[in-house]
Amino acid sequence: MGKKFDTKSVQSSLNHAANIDSKVTPIYQTTAFKFTDLDDLEGFYQGKKDYLYSRVGNPNTDELGVAVAQLENASDGIATSSGLSAILVGVLAVAKAGDHIVAANDIYGGTYQLLANELTDFGIEVSFVPFDDHQAIERNIQSNTKLLYSESITNPLLRVEDIKSIVQIAKQHHLYTMIDNTFATPYLVQPILSGVDLVVHSATKYLAGHSDVTAGVLVGEKELIAKARTKVVNIGTNLSPFDAWLAVRGLKTLSVRMERHNKNANILANALVKNNAVTKVYYPEHATEKGSGAIVSIDITGNCDINAFFKALDWVKIVPTLAGVETSVSYPLATSHRALPPEKQKELNITEGLVRISVGIEDATDIIEAFETAIDTAKY
């Protein structure tokens, strides 16, 4: 196989079809795998047979995990039922009751809820810290700290994480690192190459790419993924074979989709900066050599009626998520960051006029026109 990213994204699938030369891996839509006798059954537990029960493993879910691991330059990977479940099993692979995690304070609202509210039931403590303040990170590291957690590009204000510095801090204190790479995708950033231990994706977004799959993927060193795989099996956060098959199909076009997404997002951000009704445009400048991502966030607080803006968007879809080939918008204050305390929303600049734009692959001039028209219509 070629070693370039574009080639790997197309050619990384595995064909498990026994004695059938299928060009595409079949969907193994089965709950279990059969055995000829008890010796054959015992062969699974001795490592001579690959599959037993689809919660434990399935060729389609394995294919997705391995394919993303190859794109991320990781040793191994596992697919899960969602991005949040991938985060959960990743955390549980390195932390247990009595341990402590330091996480970036500007992460996705759903992740914040998982870490702040659910992990406490597991006896795991979490401190949320501004990760652009490295001294603050170090001040919050405790004797029982096990993990530093952040996002390569944060959701929704698009701060680009200094991954190498985070890894350096972690190594100085003998900690693990986990990075959510959903926004950047391995097309832009490969955190494993900077020394990150675990990388997580909501494959629901750009990896699958067509808004028809809910899935997660966790990649990293084989030892850590083996621990995470045990958690997936025992907790039951496995992905269905059909969803895995769809995600792998989407993965084959990741490179060409991200190229257009990035190009259009950059054009839109530059256009909206010139609009006087836009208080602020959030879009990274030169995040990577390939681009800065497909998300543009804008703040129109005080200049536009937010309800009128959303109503005037015409063909642009209003959804509580992102990615997909179609341009869409979300309203963080009412969706992804709704459950955050008001003081936390204010601290993170989650304002009443903040709009997160997931830029699609349509013609850039049409995208610009849609937003300029909506802004003009909603102006006070």
The domain ranges of the chain are 5-95+141-148+163-251, 254-378
Q: Which residues of 139-155 are buried (b: 16+ CB within 10 A; e: fewer)?
A: ebbeeebbbbbbbbbbb
Task: State residue 340's pLDDT score.
Answer: 85
HSE-CB of 103 using CA atoms within 13 angstroms: 25
Task: State residue 87's pLDDT score.
Answer: 98
Q: Where does 254-378 sit in CATH, by number?
A: 3.90.1150.10
Q: Look up residue 90 and give its two tokens.
A: 């990743």
Task: State residue 23's pLDDT score.
Answer: 85
Among 305, 306, 308, 281, smallest CA distance to 295 is for 281
Residue spans of the chain under pLDDT 70: 1-2, 14-20
| 5-95+141-148+163-251: CATH topology | Aspartate Aminotransferase; domain 2 (3.40.640)
Cβ burial, residue 131 (10 Å; 0-12/13-18/19+): buried
Task: State residue 247's pLDDT score.
Answer: 98
CA dihedral 8, 11, 16, 18 (to 10 degrees): -150
Task: State residue 12's pLDDT score.
Answer: 78
Q: How far is Cα of residue 63 from the mean position of the Cα atoms in its chain?
A: 18
pLDDT tens per residue across span 98-140: 999 999 999 999 999 999 999 999 999 999 999 999 999 999 9
pTM, whole model, 2 decimals? 0.96
Q: Count CB atoms within 10 A of the CB of residue 82.
A: 18
Q: What's the CA gap between 132 and 139, in Å, rounded?
A: 13
